[in-house]
Amino acid sequence: MCSPFGSNNRRKLHEASKRETHIVCRLCGELLARTGNFCYACRSRIRRYRIKAAAVSYLGGKCQRCGWSGNLSGFDFHHPNDDKEFGIGKESNRSWKVLVRELKKCELLCSNCHRAEHSGTRDEKFLMIAGEYRGSLLKW
């Protein structure tokens, strides 16, 4: 039997008659179990976005290595020391005071600089050996 509630199949059919109007999430269109404008998933997504926007702004709004500034999705929070308590980008329910304490341990990097930081190719010994390598290369 198909559910009149879409993917949310936990409610009984007789409860549908109690609702004269169906309230849906303004962002994704999912039927809401409670009153409000957004479903739980969309509220979490909005909170995470707002926290990241505030954190990027707090750290200057541009990459601390190359100076790039742009879309929020292009920024990462790099912990140069191994004193990371939690990842900034995945938090949405911590207080701003706790987030600032963690942000003070971070560098704001663009995704390119952050990947380069963790790639291991900045090691001078690796670069020297890779430059001198004379083995067979892939051919296509």
pLDDT at 9: 63
Cα separation, 104 vs 131, whole angstroms? 38
Number of H helices, E strands in the chain: 4, 2
The pLDDT tens digits along the chain (140 residues) read 565 656 666 655 555 545 446 788 898 888 887 778 888 888 888 888 999 999 999 999 999 999 999 999 999 999 888 888 887 767 667 888 999 999 999 999 999 999 988 886 667 787 788 778 877 776 65
Residue 134 CB-density burial (10 A; 0-12 exposed, 13-18 middle, 19+ buried): exposed
Please state the φ and ψ torsions of residue 79, each to the nearest 5 degrees.
Answer: -95, 100
Angle at the Cα of 113 (from 107 to 114), degrees rounded to 5?
Answer: 60
pLDDT at 40: 86
Show the DSSP H helices in 87-123 as ranges: 96-103, 111-119
